[in-house]
Every structure is written in C-alpha cells, then in structure tokens.
Amino acid sequence: YKRYWWREQLKRSWISKNVDAGFVAGTASRAYLMDLGLPGERIWERYDVVDNHYFASRVRSIRKYARTEHEKAGLPDNYFLYVGRFSPEKNLMRLLQAYRLYKDSSHAPWGLVLVGDGPQREELQSIAKWEGLDDIVWPGFRYLQELPLYYALAGCFVLPSVREPWGLVVNEAMASGLPILVSSRCGCSLDLVRDGSNGFTFAPYNPSQLAELMTEVSNLSSARLDELGRASAEIIAEFTPEHWAQNLFQAISSVTGRQDHGKTELVSAAS
C-alpha cells in the first residue's frame, strides 16, 4: 500500500524513542522495521505461524480415502486451489484471466477451486460465466476445520495478491504438503517460496506468467509434484507455534534487559 513520507518519519521518531525490540513475520517486515530505524539484531521473526501439525495430520487422514472424498465433495480430480477473501487486493480478477489463458493452452487442464467469500463474489462469478469458465468450483466460506479437505485433494495452491503482509494460507498449504504459486507482492514469498524447489513466485500483474506456471506445474509428474510438496512441508517446519513462542520469549527477554534505558516497548510490523 502507499506510504507517505511524513507518516514514515513519525514512525521513525516514535520507534527511536520508545522501542527496544521488534517481532515480525519475516524478511520483508524485518527490512521495513530496519528502514524505520530499529537495528536488525533487535528484531525477531516467525510472528505469522499456524498449527502445522493440525493440517498435516488431517490431510494425511483425508488422502487415505482421496477418491471417495473427491466424489463426496464434488471436486475435480486435479485442481489449483485458492483460499481467502474475495476482495480487490487478492487479485482474483487476474487469477481468472490466468486460468482462462491456461485452459486455452492446455490439453488436459486442471480445475480451479476458489474457497471463500467477500464483496467481489458476484462480480467474479459473473466474469467466470462470461469467460466460459463454468467448471470453476465455488464452495463458499469454510471454517477452519473444513479447510483440510480442500488442501488434501488439491494439486497446487495459488495466492495471487497484489497486497499481502504475509499470507497465512500459504503456511496452511505448505503444512498440507502442497506445491505453491505465490505472488511476489506477498510478504511470505521471500521466506517460504524456493523457486523450483517447492513452487514459484510470479508478478501479480502478469496473468500470462501465472498461466505459464500453471501449465508447468500441471504438466509435472506425480513424483515431481510429491517432491515439491515434501519440500514445502520441510520449509514450513521452521515456522511453528513453538518457534513463535521461543522468539517472542527472546524478544521480551531482550526488552527486560534494557529497561534501564527507559524503553520497554515491543512492536510487530507488517511489510
């Protein structure tokens, strides 16, 4: 989002006078807090985590009966998955454009499942109908306990946002062992995506690039897809509630050790 120089200057002034330590999501938010004047050695990461074990264990159970679950849920055999709000910053209009390009160039295209709801739902569905994308599945809003089903049966997760401080749904997808396609404007992309190892990043304003990556992923062998999924699970294993607690403890300890300086604030920052 747009930042104004005078607001940033006010933040710098406040941080220099009041803040001893920062607790942030990852690389992008660390860089932002450093730009505001907080030294890197006083910043701890792993602020944005999910219960990896919950998703991994639920997904394993569901995949044992994948064929039955596919039929019960009415989901495609293979599909790209999005989970989140249907709002402008999520960039779903361009995801639909990319999917149209992908389908036009593919002999056996995967499906697309969009889980969620929001102010753009009707508009997105109208565009999909106009574009002839009648095979898109719209399950609507789903509670946390319902999400593992969609992660378990998906082939790849996509987050196309033009503005996203982090993107916890990427954590969920990786804990579920999925390859990922993540916009370079998502804060998590620098920390969670290893291009070619567990997925790819893409420019969110370039539907053609995303379409090409969708083609590349859907053409991979099952063994290669499994390899990317395992890499996702290994990477996200470093982003757990335990890491969150450990780093928060270290940040607080650093603050209490500097109370004689007259500053006792701990802040978190988004990119």
- Indicate if 33 and 154 belong to the same structural domain: no
2 domain-assigned: no
Give me the pLDDT at residue 256, please.
80
13 domain-assigned: no
- Indicate if 32 and 129 belong to the same structural domain: no
- Indicate if 160 and 244 belong to the same structural domain: no
Checking if the pLDDT of 258 tops 70, the result is: no
Instruction: Tell me how far apart the alpha carbons of residues 133 and 126 are, in angstroms, rounded to a whole number.
Output: 10
- Indicate if 190 and 65 belong to the same structural domain: yes
CATH number (domain holding residue 186) = 3.40.50.2000
Instruction: Tell me how far apart the alpha carbons of residues 54 and 22 are, in angstroms, rounded to a whole number.
Output: 28
Q: Cα 143 to the chain's mean position, in Å?
A: 17
How many angstroms separate the Cα of 41 from the Cα of each of 29, 55, 58, 147? 14, 33, 38, 37
**Poorest-pLDDT segment among 22-26, 69-73, 172-176, 266-270:** 266-270
5 domain-assigned: no
Query: Amino acid identity of 46?
Result: R
Instruction: Tell me how far apart the alpha carbons of residues 262 and 249 are, in angstroms, rounded to a whole number.
Output: 20
- Indicate if 159 and 26 belong to the same structural domain: no
Q: Please give the tally of structural domains in the chain.
A: 2
- Indicate if 166 and 222 belong to the same structural domain: yes
17 domain-assigned: no
- Indicate if 176 and 78 belong to the same structural domain: yes
pLDDT in tens, 117-162: 999 999 999 999 999 999 999 999 999 999 999 999 999 999 999 9
Residue pointed to by tokens 């730009």: 35
223 domain-assigned: yes
Range of the domain at 57: 52-236
3 domain-assigned: no
224 domain-assigned: yes
Instruction: Tell me how far apart the alpha carbons of residues 181 and 130 are, in angstroms, rounded to a whole number.
Output: 25
Give me the pLDDT at residue 254, please.
84
Contacts of residues 244-250 at CB distance under 8 Å and 24 or more positions apart, as own/partner, are 244/46, 244/47, 244/49, 247/23, 247/44, 247/45, 247/46, 247/47, 248/23, 248/44, 250/44
Half-sphere exposure of 40 (CA within 13 A, CB side): 5
165 domain-assigned: yes
pTM over 0.85: yes
- Indicate if 84 and 35 belong to the same structural domain: no
- Indicate if 143 and 263 belong to the same structural domain: no
- Indicate if 130 and 40 belong to the same structural domain: no
Sequence-separated (6 or more) residues with CB below 8 Å from residue 180: 156, 157, 158, 159, 170, 173, 174, 192, 193, 198, 199, 200, 232
Checking if the pLDDT of 266 tops 60, the result is: no
- Percentage of the chain with pLDDT > 90? 80
Helices within the chain (DSSP H only): 5-18, 27-35, 52-63, 66-73, 92-105, 121-130, 147-153, 168-175, 189-192, 207-218, 222-236, 241-256
- Indicate if 87 and 205 belong to the same structural domain: yes
- What b/e readout covers 237-252, taking b as 16+ CB neighbours within 10 angstroms? eebbeebbeebbeebb
- Indicate if 223 and 187 belong to the same structural domain: yes
Checking if the pLDDT of 75 tops 50, the result is: yes
